[in-house]
Amino acid sequence: MLRPLARALSVLLAAPLAAACTQSNPLFIATSGADTTTAASTLDITTDAPGSSAPDPDTGSEGSSAGAPTTSDIEPDPTATTGIDPIDTGIDSDASTGEPPPDTSTGDIGPSTGDPPPEPVVEIVFASLATCVLLNLNFLGYLGPIECETLTEKYDQAAEIGVMILDKSVLAAGGRESRVYIRFEIPAAPADKVLTSATLSVEVSGSPDAGAAWSGDLYLSQPFDANSLKTFAPGGDLMTPDPSPAIPGQASSWQIPVEAIGSAQPLYLGIGALSSDAVAFRSTGASADLHPRLTLTYQ
């Protein structure tokens, strides 16, 4: 991608820099425009960054007409052998006949079954900032968002406004590595709700050459804003590995661990390139509906 720029800038690039053009920053580490060599950092990069019991029969009810088993059709007089009138105990004589208890399985379900779970609450949050930067490389200085997006827009074959490039070695920029940075302003969580899922979606440019076999690794970045990115590219910790290929005109998506997102706090993300087969994403310079978005699900 962006090969026309190699011809357009060939007069600006010194021949001795040809060997340096293949170099790239192997880690998502902090780098500053003040450096004259490849930036280094001691920042650690993590690789780890979705049979019930039936009730007793009613013993106070009237008994059935069937009595205890006998060899005669005539029930014996209980006083005939004892001479004592039977005592009315109020216990149904049929209780010992072994008849099964009444079937209660078809009755109404009691309140012990609980209420159905509440419906989830889904919120869409659009990025407040999404752009790219070009890292310094040997004697080639750092370039901030304006230069990075201007270069990408000028040579994107779709002629789109609001495009950011992700590449290990941007040929048109003298072999500099580019990064993407995205910031979200996370709202307060709904009352009595817990965040259960978070998905980042970033639109790929519609240019035929905008896609690649990868979309990039997602990092939890150190804080930044539009001004700080002009002179400094923050580092970060790996959060979600590359999810899938980047397809022109479609969105690439990453699952974000919910513990990385704080209620009513900014979220700082960075995307690192995997190769020099560049991917072009839509930035916050594009129309609002094409801005990177975060889908938050609360339960």
pLDDT at 263: 95
pLDDT, greater one: 169 or 157: 169
The mean pLDDT of 201-216, rounded to a whole number, is 95
With cut-offs at 50, 70 and 90, classify the pLDDT of residue 283. very high
pLDDT tens-digit profile of 218-238?
A: 999 999 999 999 999 999 999
Q: Which residue type is seen at 22?
A: T
- CA 130, 135, 140, 141 torsion: positive or negative? positive
pLDDT at 60: 45
User: Concatenated DSSP letters for 216-272?
Assistant: -EEEEEPP--TTGGGTEE--EEEEE---S-B-TTSEEEEE--GGG--TTSEEEEEEE
Tokens describing residue 186: 């996370």
pLDDT at 28: 86
Percent of the chain with pLDDT over 70: 63
171 has pLDDT over 80: yes
pLDDT, greater one: 21 or 108: 108
pLDDT at 115: 73
Q: To the nearest whole number, what is the mean pLDDT of the chain? A: 76
β-strand partners of 31? 233
The mean pLDDT of 21-50, rounded to a whole number, is 49
86 has pLDDT over 50: no
Q: Which of 36-50, 103-117, 119-133, 190-204 has the lowest mean pLDDT?
A: 36-50
Q: β-pairing, 121-126 with 293-298?
A: antiparallel
Is residue 176 within 8 Å of 140, Cβ to Cβ? Answer: yes
β-strand partners of 11? none
Q: Which of 67-76, 158-167, 239-248, 281-290 has the lowest mean pLDDT?
A: 67-76
With cut-offs at 50, 70 and 90, classify the pLDDT of residue 4. very low
Q: How many CB atoms lie within 10 A of CB 206?
A: 19
pLDDT at 16: 36
Q: What is the CA radius of gyration of the chain?
A: 37
Is residue 182 within 8 Å of 240, Cβ to Cβ? Answer: no
With cut-offs at 50, 70 and 90, classify the pLDDT of residue 104. low
With cut-offs at 50, 70 and 90, classify the pLDDT of residue 168. very high
